[in-house]
Amino acid sequence: MKKTLGVGLLVLLGILIFVGFNSYYTVHQTQQALVLQFGRVIGAVSEPGLHFKIPFVQNVEYFDRRILDLDSPAQEVIASDRKRLVVDAYSRYRIVNPLLFYQTIRTEAVARSRLSTVLNASLRRVLGESTFQAVVRDEREALMGRITDIMNVEAAKFGLLIVDTRIKRADLPEANSLAVYRRMQTERQREAADFRAQGEEQSRRVRANANREVTIIKAEATRDGEKLRGEGDAERNRIFADAFTRDPDFFAFYRAMQAYENGLNSGDTRLVLSPDSEFFRYFNDPLGKDRGAAGGQ
């Protein structure tokens, strides 16, 4: 009897413990919860901490209260100026109405699917009304704000709030980018050719100026040299004339010696002259007075 009573008490204690564990639930700071009774929502809990419920009758659904990310795949959009753009964007959202969220889409996977469709549609709508330059540079911030506002209209139906929408990349398609790259490359090559042509022209101009200056310098140097040589010859002739007037015999002897030096070089030197020629005047008569003696020899 005692043994049966002990087993019964243990079973009752186990049931009480099991019921106790199923009578409370914990909501973390990053969560918010809905309390359901037989599938019907009877309350929402947003305060973190320990909370109680009726075991086996009520159950709890948890939802994230943090900011969640929605990353959309890149898609091609046609701007208002008929230019194609490859746009890569993402959004951040929060569950602000867990009851409405549970009643409409229930899970985050479905929420991401719905919001992805809304994001793509909003991108096409807003960017399709804008020019390529506005999307890429001028009005990018304002366009992202418009996309966020449009998405919030649809997201509110699911108990969601779009915190922000950002365009990570907005660029031309690869084929267009290659065409732009080739055009830029051609322009740069043309500019390089222009620079080379200008440099070659300047180089020819510098060389022409240098050659002209060299020619002028050489001409001036030749002129100055001829002038100096002329002055030197004039001075030499003056000295010779002065020497001739002072001592004609010595001057004649000096000129004859120069003639002998230039005319009678070493080697095979042949002269066809008469023995009594004036050229041999000083051979037999150093004083150059006995021209007849030179002829007799």
Asked, for residue 39, whether it belongs to a domain, the answer is: yes
Residue 184 lies in a domain: no
Cα-flanking dihedrals φ and ψ of residue 93, to 5°? -140, 165
pLDDT for position 254: 74
pLDDT at position 50 is 85
* Domain termination residue (choose one: 177, 211, 232): 177
The predicted pLDDT at position 19 comes to 65
Token digits of residue 264? 């009678």
Q: What pLDDT does 163 receive?
A: 94
Q: Is residue 130 part of a domain?
A: yes
The pLDDT of residue 157 is 92
- pLDDT score recorded for residue 291: 45
Question: Domain check: are 57 and 111 in the same one?
Answer: no
List the one residue out of 277, 259, 255, 284 whose CA is nearest residue 269. Answer: 259
Q: What is the pLDDT of residue 165?
A: 92
Range of the structural domain that residue 116 is part of: 68-177
Q: Are 145 and 163 in contact (CB under 8 A)?
A: no
Q: Which residues of the chain have pLDDT under 70?
A: 1-3, 5-8, 11-21, 174-180, 263-297
**Kind and range of the H or E run holding 220:** helix 174-246
C-alpha distances (whole Å) from 190 to each of 52, 172, 179, 219 are: 79, 24, 16, 43
Distance CA 102, CA 185 (A): 56
pLDDT value for 149: 93
What pLDDT, on the 0 to 100 scale, is given for residue 292?
43
Phi-psi region of 288 (alpha: psi -120 to 50; beta: other; left: phi over 0): left
**Residue 138 covered by a domain:** yes
Instruction: Tell me the C-alpha distance between 189 and 200, whole Å.
Output: 16
In this structure, are 172 and 265 located in the same domain?
no
Does some domain include residue 183?
Answer: no
Q: Which one of 141, 161, 177 terminates a domain?
A: 177
Secondary structure element (H or E) that encloses residue 219, with its range = helix 174-246
Task: Supply the pLDDT for residue 294.
Answer: 38
User: Within this chain, do residues 73 and 162 fall inside the same structural domain, yes or no?
Assistant: yes
Per the structure, how many domains does the chain have? 3
**Do residues 93 and 125 share a domain?**
yes
Give the pLDDT score at 246: 74
Domain at 118, CATH number: 3.30.479.30
